[in-house]
């Protein structure tokens, strides 16, 4: 049968059975729309978690010294220069970046103008020094160097800390929201070896200085400030603290596939991996995936019910059109022609349902994003969109509608093809 003739017969059949075709397409649209909507929501929330809440590079491995181990008691497992060189020599390591905590508490008492508002606040700070190469994508190297004694310390602030400040702390205190550009050049008084909650180091001086914000970074310390490694070494030396061992080392693997191999090698060297944040991100992502999977399964069940409904409707249609099918076979239609007519009818219904369901999901997602932007209050890491619809999800939704309808029509089409024209026309 030619395509034009098949199209004409399908169009006439659907026009005659438009009520049943409408409800069948509606069932498919409900299932496909729910599936596309929930999958898009899960992908969107997962993207926010990966990119904003717990941003990480799949090639990074954070190495820390062991808390307590036999190797550290015997002189092994220390993150000194020799160990850093051994880490650098591991197969699959592209770069190594050292970290050193300032080994004394630090506090800041700010009392003055804060971007047009009066602010008086005291807070304890964690201070860590890092190799400038670790954050070179966020701040120029010439700005992130040791300026020498008596000069303001160049520091980086975490982007996540800024997000939390803007959407939690600032509204509660009536303070202005800040952008990374506004923060650059801001001076903050800092006292090294002073604390509001813990005892300072005995027999060590208090170093009063200023910290000058030179940028923000996802790799900056969340609950404190990040400064150049040379500055941390100098401050520790001035307070008589250890400057030979490092608090951590960040390895950059040549590819994400080399990370498991590097993790095993690092642990064999008596060191540990700081993957707490990565595990937290994975746990949150797993929870989102689990909920999304449950809702997607429910949507697939709706599609299955739609397929069953199509099978029932087509079976009834085939019985009602038995004489018509018999006449078609009598005038030369083959069994394959009859089967193709029924499958084509179902395909049109499924394709229409898939397209309408997918469009409905996209429009509903757009509406929710608009309402969220207008009505939901600001909160940390609030995204511009809660959804993500890659082309595979859109095409997959339309394809699922078509597949569900054709699957539902499979048995009715074979039943129609098996009609005996002589018996049917004889009555």
**Residues 132-179: tens digit of each pLDDT:** 999 998 998 899 999 998 899 999 999 999 999 999 889 888 899 999
CA distance 158 to 163: 9
Q: Is 277 part of a structural domain of the chain?
A: no
Do 31 and 171 belong to one domain?
no
CA distance 203 to 367: 63
Give the per-residue pLDDT at 249.
Answer: 95
3-state secondary structure of 64: strand
Do 203 and 334 belong to one domain?
no
Q: Is 59 part of a structural domain of the chain?
A: no
In this predicted structure, the answer to whether residue 197 has a pLDDT above a threshold of 50 is yes
| Residue 154: strand pairing partners | 212
Do 167 and 258 belong to one domain?
yes
Looking at the 3D structure of the chain, how many domains does it have?
2
DSSP string of 205-225, one letter each residue = --EEEEEEEEEEETTS-TTEE
Do 374 and 286 belong to one domain?
yes
pLDDT class for 422, splitting at 50, 70, 90? low
CA distance 407 to 311: 8
Choose one of 270, 302, 318: the last residue of a domain.
270
Residues 25-39 have a mean pLDDT of 92
pLDDT class for 413, splitting at 50, 70, 90? confident
DSSP string of 329-392, one letter each residue = HHTT--HHHHHHHHHHHHHHHHHHHHHHHHHHHHHHHHHHHHHHHHHSPP-TT--S-S----HH
CA distance 5 to 1: 7
Do 248 and 380 belong to one domain?
no
Do 332 and 353 belong to one domain?
yes
Look at 426 and 90; give whichever has higher pLDDT.
90
Q: Is 360 part of a structural domain of the chain?
A: yes
CA distance 78 to 84: 9
pLDDT class for 424, splitting at 50, 70, 90? low
Is residue 122 within 8 A of residue 108, CB to CB? The reply is yes
Choose one of 250, 270, 290: the last residue of a domain.
270
CA distance 407 to 411: 8
Is residue 220 within 8 A of residue 159, CB to CB? The reply is yes
Q: Is 41 part of a structural domain of the chain?
A: yes
Half-sphere exposure of 192 (CA within 13 A, CB side): 26
Give the per-residue pLDDT at 288.
Answer: 86
Give the per-residue pLDDT at 419.
Answer: 67
pLDDT class for 72, splitting at 50, 70, 90? very low
Contact residues for 255 (Cβ-Cβ < 8 A; gap 6+): 59, 92
Q: Is 166 part of a structural domain of the chain?
A: yes
Do 204 and 178 belong to one domain?
yes
Cα dihedral 45, 49, 55, 56 sign: negative
Phi then psi dihedrals of residue 78, to 5 deg: -90, 140
CA distance 108 to 334: 88
Rounded to two decimals, what is the model's pTM? Answer: 0.77
Give the per-residue pLDDT at 75.
Answer: 45
CA distance 63 to 100: 12
Domain hosting 124: range is 66-270
Residues 221-245 have a mean pLDDT of 93
Report pLDDT digits (tens) over 39-63: 999 999 988 888 888 887 889 999 9
Choose one of 246, 270, 294: the last residue of a domain.
270
Q: Which two tokens stand for residue 2?
A: 């030619």
Do 233 and 321 belong to one domain?
no
Longest dimension (CA), the chain: 112
pLDDT class for 425, splitting at 50, 70, 90? low
Report pLDDT digits (tens) over 75-132: 456 899 999 999 999 999 999 999 999 999 999 999 989 988 888 989 999 999 999 9
3-state secondary structure of 267: helix
Give the per-residue pLDDT at 69.
Answer: 47
Q: Is 365 part of a structural domain of the chain?
A: yes
Strands 187-192 and 153-158: unpaired
Average pLDDT of the residues of the chain: 87
Residues 320-346 have a mean pLDDT of 76
Do 82 and 27 belong to one domain?
no
Question: Measuring CA to CA, how many Å separate 21 from each of 190, 342, 412, 416?
Answer: 73, 12, 15, 18
Report pLDDT digits (tens) over 312-332: 887 877 777 766 777 777 777
CA distance 6 to 140: 67
3-state secondary structure of 96: strand
CA distance 322 to 416: 8
Residues 6-21 have a mean pLDDT of 74
Q: Is 330 part of a structural domain of the chain?
A: yes
């Amino acid at each position: 049968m030619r395509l034009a003739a098949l199209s004409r017969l399908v169009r006439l059949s659907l026009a005659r059975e438009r009520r049943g075709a409408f409800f069948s397409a509606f069932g498919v649209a409900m299932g496909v729309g729910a599936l596309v909507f929930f999958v898009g929501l899960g992908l969107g929330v997962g993207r926010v978690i990966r990119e904003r809440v717990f941003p990480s590079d799949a090639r990074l491995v954070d190495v820390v010294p062991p808390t307590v181990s036999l190797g550290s008691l015997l002189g092994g497992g220390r993150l000194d220069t020799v160990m850093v060189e051994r880490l650098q020599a591991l197969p699959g390591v592209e770069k190594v970046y050292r970290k050193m905590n300032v080994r004394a508490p630090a506090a800041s008492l700010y009392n003055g103008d804060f971007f047009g508002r009066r602010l008086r606040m005291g807070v304890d700070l964690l201070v860590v020094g890092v190799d400038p190469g670790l954050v070179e994508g966020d701040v120029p190297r010439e700005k992130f160097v040791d300026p020498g004694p008596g000069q303001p310390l160049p520091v980086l602030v975490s982007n996540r800390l800024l997000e939390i400040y803007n959407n939690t702390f600032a509204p509660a205190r009536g303070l202005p929201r800040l952008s990374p550009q506004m923060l650059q050049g801001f001076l903050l008084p800092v006292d090294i070896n002073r604390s509001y909650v813990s005892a300072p180091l005995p027999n060590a001086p208090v170093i009063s200085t200023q910290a000058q914000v030179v940028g923000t970074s996802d790799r900056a310390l969340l609950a404190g400030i990040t400064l150049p490694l040379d500055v941390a070494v100098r401050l520790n030396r001035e307070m008589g603290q250890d400057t030979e061992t490092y608090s951590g080392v960040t390895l950059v693997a040549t590819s994400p596939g080399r990370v498991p191999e590097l993790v095993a090698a690092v642990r064999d060297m008596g060191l540990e991996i700081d993957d707490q944040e990565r595990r937290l991100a994975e746990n949150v992502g797993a929870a989102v995936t689990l909920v999304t999977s449950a809702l997607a399964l429910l949507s697939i069940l709706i599609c299955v019910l739609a397929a069953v409904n199509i099978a029932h409707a087509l079976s009834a249609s085939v019985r009602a059109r038995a004489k018509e099918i018999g006449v078609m076979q009598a005038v030369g239609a083959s069994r394959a022609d009859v089967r193709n007519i029924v499958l084509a009818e179902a395909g049109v219904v499924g394709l229409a349902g898939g397209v309408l369901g997918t469009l409905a999901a996209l429009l509903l997602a757009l509406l929710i994003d608009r309402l969220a932007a207008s009505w939901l209050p600001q909160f940390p890491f609030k995204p511009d969109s809660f959804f993500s619809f890659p082309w595979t999800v859109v095409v997959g939704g339309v394809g699922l509608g078509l597949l569900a309808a054709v699957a539902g029509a499979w048995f009715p089409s074979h039943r129609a093809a098996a009609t005996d024209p002589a018996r049917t026309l004889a009555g």
